[in-house]
Amino acid sequence: MKNIKNNAQESKENISPQAASNLKDILAERDLFWELWEQLYMQAKEKIETMDMEYIWEGKEGIVHKIEVTFQDKTTKKLLAVKRRFDNTLKNEIDIQRKFFDQSKKNKDIIKIPKVFWEISTNKGEYFLMEYIEGKTLFTLKMEKIAEYFYKKFQNKYPDFFWNIKTLNIQKDENDINKRQMFNFWSDEEARNNMFKILSFLNDKQEPFLKKYTNTPGIVLIDKNMFDTIIAKIYNDADMDIKIFNQKEWWKIQDKLKEFLYQCHKQWLFHRDIWGNPTNIMFIQKSDEIQPVIIDFGQGTIIKYNLNMEGKQEYERGDGPYGDEHETFIPDTDICHIINSLTIKPPKREPRELRI
């Protein structure tokens, strides 16, 4: 990194604006790396030997990096360094996540919640370091199935295109929720980018099939807003029949989610951003069972209320889920309806003939 900085200073007059921008990002990453290293070294009980950092994504929750730390006793720990979100206080998000984590421990980890380890302040902003969990979100799993749907529909017509996606899963495993799909997208960002390529390609080819999602004749520019609109329509397209889970898996997932969220809601602890957001629930394969993982607690809250004269609950102003005095909201458990729609239903049995 030091050589990169020195070379940049010596030849800055010959650097293109794009290269200068990229180099600026590299140097910013380097500075952040050493700040996180220094803070982590002071906070961790074990002595750090090596640390690797990788940029993951930047979204509404801020900037996220994956960090792998090796300690002097040769143990390793994988972490996510999450920068403070721009529209929320870091303290509130950490407190809510820790309360969900404590609740998961009380319920014997039927739902996995990433553990928050450290809170760190740097010149680049405030970060919290939490447990990194290897798994896929419901969004990624569904993008994989939609990509598979398009592949089967158009592979004979465009045999070369889908190989350019370069994410075909050559080691499928029906017993692992994250490896059973034909396509293998390892992050929401990769899933979104590949689906964008597929939709743009089919749009350029003026495939009539795509017109019912764009509602526009001819070729149109598929930007982010149109992409999100198309995906929303595909999600609700019954003709696609996108299925991810089998019936046995569904019942177990539903029981775990309902039991855990029921216990959280009894404590007036609400996530508020999983019922309709497939990016905030992940799945990992644990032995022969699928374990749900709930993430991203930036919209979470503990609801405070008063009892009115009639004994009914009324939320205190500013402390309800959306800051209103009297409000209604969709419960977290509605995520179960989404998962149910992605479940393979067993065929209905024909009634047996009665023997007389």
> Which of 131, 156, 174 marks a domain boundary?
131
Predicted pLDDT at 161? 83
The answer to whether residue 131 scores a pLDDT higher than 90 is yes
Residue 175 placed within a domain: yes
Residue 336 placed within a domain: yes
Is the Cβ–Cβ distance between 8 and 27 less than 8 Å?
yes
Backbone φ and ψ for 197, nearest 5 degrees, come out as -60, -45
CATH number for the domain that contains residue 74: 3.30.200
Regarding whether 52 and 34 lie in a shared domain, the answer is yes
The band of 11, judged by pLDDT with boundaries at 50, 70 and 90, is: very low
Regarding whether 270 and 322 lie in a shared domain, the answer is yes
Tokens of 60: 């509404």
What domain count does the chain have?
3
Question: To the nearest whole percent, how much of the chain has pLDDT over 70?
Answer: 73
Residue 118 placed within a domain: yes
The band of 355, judged by pLDDT with boundaries at 50, 70 and 90, is: very low
Q: Tell me what the pLDDT averaged over the chain comes to.
A: 76
Regarding whether 192 and 109 lie in a shared domain, the answer is no
- Let me know if 44 is exposed, middle or buried by CB neighbors in 10 A (0-12, 13-18, 19+): middle
Which residues, at least 6 apart from 339, have a Cβ–Cβ distance to it below 8 Å?
138, 245, 250, 253, 254, 257
Regarding whether 146 and 61 lie in a shared domain, the answer is no
pLDDT tens-place string over residues 53-106: 888 877 555 678 899 989 888 889 999 888 766 555 556 778 899 999 999 999
Q: Identify the CA nearest to 76 among candidates 108, 101, 44.
A: 44
Predicted pLDDT at 354? 40
232 against 293, higher pLDDT:
293
Regarding whether 220 and 140 lie in a shared domain, the answer is yes
Predicted pLDDT at 295? 92
Residue 49 is part of which domain span?
2-131
Regarding whether 179 and 73 lie in a shared domain, the answer is no
> Which of 131, 150, 169 marks a domain boundary?
131
Predicted pLDDT at 309? 54
The answer to whether residue 322 scores a pLDDT higher than 60 is no
DSSP-based three-state secondary structure for 81: strand
Regarding whether 183 and 71 lie in a shared domain, the answer is no
Regarding whether 191 and 218 lie in a shared domain, the answer is yes
Predicted pLDDT at 255? 93
Question: To the nearest whole percent, how much of the chain has pLDDT over 90?
Answer: 17
Residue 242 placed within a domain: no
Which residues, at least 6 apart from 255, have a Cβ–Cβ distance to it below 8 Å?
none
> Which of 83, 114, 131 marks a domain boundary?
131
Residue 333 placed within a domain: yes
Predicted pLDDT at 290? 93
Q: Quote the pTM value.
A: 0.80
Q: Identify the CA nearest to 54 among candidates 19, 29, 87, 72.
A: 29
The band of 324, judged by pLDDT with boundaries at 50, 70 and 90, is: very low
pLDDT tens-place string over residues 269-292: 888 888 878 889 999 998 888 999
Regarding whether 117 and 22 lie in a shared domain, the answer is yes
The band of 313, judged by pLDDT with boundaries at 50, 70 and 90, is: low
Tokens of 34: 């050493």
Residue 96 placed within a domain: yes
Regarding whether 306 and 280 lie in a shared domain, the answer is yes
Residue 26 placed within a domain: yes
What's the rounded Cα separation, in Å, for the pair 22 and 157?
Answer: 39
The answer to whether residue 17 scores a pLDDT higher than 60 is no
Regarding whether 226 and 124 lie in a shared domain, the answer is no
Predicted pLDDT at 233? 81
Regarding whether 269 and 165 lie in a shared domain, the answer is no
Residue 67 placed within a domain: yes
What's the rounded Cα separation, in Å, for the pair 101 and 118?
Answer: 14
Tokens of 26: 């590299």
